[in-house]
Structures are given as structure tokens and as C-alpha cells.
Amino acid sequence: MRLTQSLIALGVMLSGGVLSGACGDDAGSGGSGGTGGAACDSVQQTGCAEGQTCEEVENGTTGCFAPVLVKGRVFDFVSDEGIGAARVVARDENGASLSTVAISAADGSYELPVPTKRTVEGAPLSRSFTLRADAADYQSFPSAPRVALPLDLADSSGDPLVLQQANSDLALIALEDTSGLGSVAGQVVAELPGGTLVEAGGRTGVADSDGQFVVFNVPSGSVEVSGYQQGLNFDPVTVDVSAGAETGGVTLQANDKPAVSVSGNVQIVNAMGGSATSVILVLEDTFVESLARGEAPPGLRAANVTGAFSIEGVPDGKYVVLAAFENDGLVRDPDTSIGGTELVRLEVAGQDIALAESFKVTGALAVESPGANDIETVSEPLTLSWEDDSSEDEYQVQVFDAFGSLVWETSGNFDQGGNKPASVAYDGPALESGNLYQFRATSIKDGVPISSTEDLKGVFLVQ
């Protein structure tokens, strides 16, 4: 259960902002280590004694408090052994960092102070967030189809306040081949650098609230390092990466080039399961073609899209535009014989972009088993099942591993008759115990794909 909870669910919007001001006698007096009577700045983090943090108070002032500590463990997905020197950061729903980075100890344990708005008595108000973890020789968490369960600082307890739950334990999947990989480290220089997504050689890292970053598992050789933050452009830097070594001292400086907008339209057709969707921009260098997924810089997302959409503040770069990627009962129409269904790639270079053709989105085939809602633990023999598409002639079924590699595929008429879901017995190579997999079913009529299961469902753990 702990493992499953560490790997699934969605981030949600954080409440409260960050203000600065004078600490009144009631601001932070009373519990949670609060102090009053002195000026403190919650942006610059000045005015508080060592070991305390300046935080916003619900009455509009600020106060000095002992920080809320998020505690957990970073561990190997298969062996359960702790992972040392992993970087853990708290993020809001748009991927912006809320905290500095915690570095895990040799046993994988970490303590991460996360700021939060307080009551006048010093208790944390509700504030939801998710965690990201990165480590050398491991896939970053979260990486689709795994997503992170939210935590809420209002659930902290004790003195000092601590938040430690199943979702603060983070399982990482070891990379299959780590030869020829190094890392890149440095500083993002901007007014508010936290949350900047740093990309190098198709790998990414996230800058903490102080702008510090490390990108692990970068292929050796000459690599361009780029920063992405909504509303900002950064000057890219080219560095030489050596296998097994860290290339440090890299500075990504924000410049005055304008960030622009990307707009377009979505057409939702034959959709019984959903009426609105989302559109995201993912970095082309992180895009996995077989699974049609990649990593989106924070904020480059349009939500509740029913027709026209616009994503503002898009930095220069090369992107793939994905519609209906998230779990909403909808999928991008897979019928490539009609317009509006091909993947859209674009390069942003200082000019607004209006996409000429609408995205066509259709109803998804509901996953029955495994992985209808959460990551499901299974064993072989394994049967894959999904909602029957009454208009299909046949189905294509594919199974992928956690890295997007195709493990097995088959096609045929898997209709079981009546109102029963379609299903097929897995008949591919032995699946490795302790590993994550995902299946995808696509319905086909007259040789043309017409619908499929959703991008982030059908995920299962083999044991």
C-alpha cells in the first residue's frame, strides 16, 4: 500500500500567497514556535532567529515560526534499499518549487522544511503540495504514468511540527543503463527562480527556491543546458559532460526576451465520458514517441478546455502539444486519416503562435483491469480488460515498461459478447517481478484506429 500511494494521484492548487510586513504581537505568538514584535520578510527570509522561518499569517501580517518539516524516505523501487544523495523538493500543481531542496541521507531519509500560511496562533493552514525526487542512476519521480499524491501541511503534528505519511516515501526506478552518464549543476538567476525546469540532454531537474539545480543522468558529450519558466526566457549554456562526473558552476541567466502565447482549438467529438479537457506543452527533447508523453515546464497548461485555448508566457524552445493527456475520460483521436489528429510539434521563437488546425479529442475506452484507477498489483497469468467499443472490428493491445519500451503487442477481435468488457490474456515475455508496466488498448474499424484507453491508466505492478 505504501508503495502504491507513493506513486499515484494528482497535485492540487495551493492556498495562500507570500507577503511581507511587520510581525505584530499576535502574529506568530502562541504555538508552533512563533515569535512576534520584530520585522520579518517572508520573501527574502530575513528578520527571524536562526532555526525559524518568516511566514505569512492569515490576518495579513508575517511572523517567525519553527518550520513545518516534511519527513520521508527515498528508496529503490525493487530492493526497498534507501537511496542517498537524492534531491527532494516540494512543488505546487504547476510545478513551481515551494521549498529549498532536501538531500537524502545514506539510508534515504530526508527532512524538508516547507513554508505555509499560519493562523494567528501559529497553526499551519491547509496547503496542498506534491514532491519531486531526483537521484543519480534513477528515473525521476514523478514520471508518467506515475504521478504524485498530494500532502497537506495542515496534517502536520507534534512539536516541532512534522508531516510524515505514506506519500512522503518516494520510490525511484533504477535506470537500465547508466554507462556514459554524468550530471550538470548550477544556479538559475532570476527574480523568482524556484520551479524553473532545467533541461540538459533530454534529462531534467528543477531549481529550488534559491535557484540551485542539479540535472542527473545526462548523456556525456557536448550538451546544451536550458531553463524554462512561464513568463521568462533564459540564455542557454553549452557544457561538456563527462561520464561519472558532475559539471558544476553552470549559470542560467534570465534575459529580457518576451515570452509569448500559443493558442488553438479543441474539438470534442463522440465523447460520453468527458466534456472538458486540457492542453499541455512538453519539451520535445523529453518526448517519448511510443507513449506520446513528455515533461511540461511549470505553468504551460490550459485547463477546462472545451474549444478555444491559450497558453500564456511560453518561453522560446521546441515543444510537442498534447491534448487530453490527463485522466478526464477523453483521449486524442487516434484516427490519423483525418485532420486534427497528428501530433503537433512547434518551435517558439519570440512570436505568438496560433495553431491552424483544431485538435480532435474523443471519448476514451475505460480501463477495467488492471489499473482502472490506481496502480494495481498483479501476478501472471494476467488478463487485460477494457470497455468494449461496439463499433470496432478489432483491437491493438500493447504493453510498455516504465521507460516506455514496448514489451508485447497483439491484435485481434477481443470482444467477449453482450455487455462484457473486451479482454485478452497476456502472452508475451515473462514480466519482471517488482517492475511497473502499462497496457494500452486501441479500437480499430476498417483498418483505422478510432479510440483508445487513457494515457495515464492501465498501470500495474508485477509481484
Neighbouring C-alpha atoms within 13 Å toward the C-beta of 50: 0
Computed from CA positions of residues 180, 181, 185, 191, in that sequence, does the dihedral angle turn out positive or negative? Answer: positive
C-alpha cell belonging to residue 258: 518576451
Is the pLDDT at 22 greater than 60? The verdict is: no
Average pLDDT for 203-207: 92
The pLDDT of residue 94 is 64
Question: Measured between alpha carbons, how far is 82 from 458 in angstroms, rounded to an integer?
Answer: 28
- Complete DSSP assignment for 127-194: -EEEEEEE-TTB--BS-TT--PPPEEGGG-BTTTTEE--GGGEEEEPBPS--TTEEEEEEEEESSS-T
| Block residue for cell numbers 508552533 | 32
110, 104 Cβ separation under 8 angstroms:
yes
Question: Measured between alpha carbons, how far is 301 from 138 in angstroms, rounded to an integer?
Answer: 27
154, 122 Cβ separation under 8 angstroms:
no
Q: Specify which residues 147 forms β-bridges with.
A: none
Average pLDDT for 437-463: 91
| Block residue for cell numbers 562526473 | 245
The pLDDT of residue 340 is 60
Over residues 446-456, the pLDDT tens digits come to: 989 989 998 88
Question: Measured between alpha carbons, how far is 346 from 348 in angstroms, rounded to an integer?
Answer: 6
- Domains in the chain (CATH in brackets) are 2-81+98-128+156-172 (no CATH), 181-255 (2.60.40.1120), 260-363 (2.60.40.1120), 367-462 (2.60.40.4070)
Is the pLDDT at 413 greater than 70? The verdict is: yes
DSSP letter, residue 355:
-
- Complete DSSP assignment for 239-290: EEE-TTSEEEEEEEEEESPPPEEEEEEEEEES-SS-S-EEEEEEEGGG-BTT
132, 91 Cβ separation under 8 angstroms:
yes
Interior angle at CA 208, CA 203 and CA 213, nearest 5: 40
pLDDT grade for 338, boundaries at 50, 70 and 90: low
The pLDDT of residue 104 is 97
Is the pLDDT at 16 greater than 50? The verdict is: no
Question: Measured between alpha carbons, how far is 268 from 255 in angstroms, rounded to an integer?
Answer: 39
The pLDDT of residue 135 is 97
Main-chain phi, psi angles of 357, to 5 degrees: -115, 145
Average pLDDT for 11-25: 33
Is the pLDDT at 32 greater than 70? The verdict is: no
Q: Specify which residues 412 forms β-bridges with.
A: 395
The pLDDT of residue 30 is 36
The pLDDT of residue 23 is 40
- Cis peptide upstream of residue 160 (ω within 30 degrees of 0): yes
pLDDT grade for 274, boundaries at 50, 70 and 90: low
87, 133 Cβ separation under 8 angstroms:
yes
The pLDDT of residue 34 is 53
Q: Which residues contact 393 (CB under 8 A, 6 or more apart)?
A: 413, 444, 445, 446
More confident site: 393 or 93 = 393
Question: Measured between alpha carbons, how far is 416 from 441 in angstroms, rounded to an integer?
Answer: 15
Average pLDDT for 277-285: 91
pLDDT grade for 2, boundaries at 50, 70 and 90: very low
Q: What percent of the chain has pLDDT over 70?
A: 89
Over residues 80-124, the pLDDT tens digits come to: 999 999 999 998 766 677 888 999 999 999 999 998 999 988 999
Strand ranges, E, within 8-160: 21-22, 39-40, 53-56, 62-65, 68-76, 87-91, 102-103, 109-114, 128-134, 151-152
Question: Measured between alpha carbons, how far is 337 from 360 in angstroms, rounded to an integer?
Answer: 12
35, 27 Cβ separation under 8 angstroms:
no
Is the pLDDT at 429 greater than 90? The verdict is: yes
Average pLDDT for 277-296: 86
C-alpha cell belonging to residue 261: 502565447
pTM: 0.77
Q: What is the mean pLDDT of the chain?
A: 86
In which element (H, E) is residue 6 found? Answer: helix 2-7
Is the pLDDT at 235 greater than 80? The verdict is: yes
Is the pLDDT at 19 greater than 50? The verdict is: no
Candidate from 5-14, 243-252, 328-337, 424-433 with smallest mean pLDDT: 5-14
Candidate from 14-18, 169-173, 308-312 with smallest mean pLDDT: 14-18
pLDDT grade for 143, boundaries at 50, 70 and 90: confident
Question: Measured between alpha carbons, how far is 180 from 171 in angstroms, rounded to an integer?
Answer: 24
